Amino acid sequence: MKTIQLTAKTQKDLLDSLLKRSPNHYGQYESVVSEMIARVREEGDQAVFDYTKQFDRWEITADNIRVTQAEIQEAFDAADAEFIEVMRRSAANITAFHQKQLRSSWIDTREDGSLLGQRILPIAVSGVYVPGGKAAYPSSVLMNVIPAKVAGVGRIIMTTPAGADGKVNPGTLAAAKIAGVDEIYKVGGAQAIAAMAYGTESIPKVDKITGPGNIFVALAKKACFGYVSIDSIAGPSEILVLADETANPRYVAADLLSQAEHDELASAILITTSRELAAAVEQQIEGFLQELSRADIIRKSLEHYGYILIAESMDAAVEAANAIASEHLEILTQNPYEVMTKIKNAGAIFLGEYSSEPLGDYYAGPNHILPTNGTAKFFSPLNVDDFMKKTSIISYSREALERAHHDIELFAGKEGLTAHANSIHVRFEETD
């Protein structure tokens, strides 16, 4: 990790460095992804089958593309019983948290006969992408599917790549059963996103696609946005720890490494007012790297995107944290709740030394699908509203419209839209 003094210049340089990790900076892959999407859109299943054979190296057909109930049950039965119970408890926490986000339709009536309201309904079909490859993430299945279930989505489609043997990771299938996925298809990559966006002979078109993936998946979601809704174009994982001299350096080091192990582009940042803590954290990191299984990935992540920033004051540290707008923000200070009130931008905030980031990844209940690359300044974690659509309701009586019609006609006239004005005027032309 690079230890530097926090100044306006070093903060700007850091932000510039972090932004290079954004999927928006990988334009060299866009033409490849566009070609894949176009082919899936035109050829349907055949394109999906060809790409699956090319990238996943197994023969997929219309007969074996969908995961059967027998395969799901086999994976569920083979799973570690204790792990199944842990996933059930996690699912219960996620469900309870997201149920509090539910909102109801509403109607407001007035004495003049006007009626205004909003109708809130779930989308019909939700699609979730679950990565395979280097690692499988059953937790992402729970986090993507459960908010959709709570919202009332009637049909949930999942795509995930199979191995060369045509089998899907059993943990992924077990999580899908617990979460309540309706259909699972053995397709990964940009071709899976295109298939859900446009539909093929085997894979139905969905209304929204959520879930993480590699750069090709991210760019495919970006390209398909508009034909289908998406959650976000997620970048690599990131964590920022705000700490003072009271923080436990062993805890801080462990928490930083919990995100650095995701991949070489992950970012781990410590902002502290204590040089002594900074030195102790570095020492603890070196100790952990001697024993952690993904040490090689962690070292590369820390080399490129690992920083320890020494701030003159906690206010300066908070200002930098708001500028970075990290996906995960831990506050390990003497009074974390006071510091939290000054935080404006973060995907998720973890308070105190017993609220480490993996608590949010797996168990607490808030969603772990969070805005990255500074987008916490204007995006939110995945939530129930992401699976809802809202329709406005308007009803005016003659009396109510009569009171407003001159105002509306004036407004339309100022915009040069005479047909708009006439649509109102014809209802009162006899009295005007």
pLDDT 10s digits, 78-131 = 889 999 999 999 999 999 999 999 999 999 999 998 999 999 999 999 999 999
What pLDDT does residue 146 have? Answer: 98
Listing DSSP states for 256-291 in one string gives: HHHHHTS-TT-EEEEEES-HHHHHHHHHHHHHHHTT
The whole-number average pLDDT for the span 171-183 is: 96
**Element at 209 (helix H, strand E):** strand 208-210
pLDDT above 80: residue 360: yes
Chain mean pLDDT for the chain: 93
CB contact set of 184 (below 8 Å; sequence gap of 6+): 66, 67, 72, 157, 158, 159, 160, 168, 173, 176
The whole-number average pLDDT for the span 423-427 is: 96
Q: Alpha-carbon distance 298 to 265, whole Å? A: 10
What pLDDT does residue 19 have? Answer: 75
pLDDT above 60: residue 134: no
Summarised one tens digit per residue, pLDDT across range 340-354 is 999 999 999 999 999
Catalytic residues: 327-328
Packing angle, helices 8-19 and 314-324, rounded to 10: 30
317: number of Cβ within 10 Å: 26
What pLDDT does residue 17 have? Answer: 83
Q: Please give the order of strands across the beta sheet that includes 115-122.
A: 106-109, 115-122, 388-395
Q: Coil, strand, or helix at residue 150? A: helix
**Element at 175 (helix H, strand E):** helix 170-179
Task: Give percent above pLDDT 70 in the chain.
Answer: 98
Cα 99 to Cα 132, 209, 255, 297, 417, distances in angstroms: 29, 21, 29, 37, 45
Q: Alpha-carbon distance 352 to 335, whole Å? A: 8
What pLDDT does residue 25 have? Answer: 62
What pLDDT does residue 24 have? Answer: 64
pLDDT above 60: residue 152: yes
Residue-wise burial string across 130-162, b where 16 or more C-beta atoms lie within 10 A, e elsewhere: bbbeeebbbbbbbbbbbbbbbbebebbbbbbbb
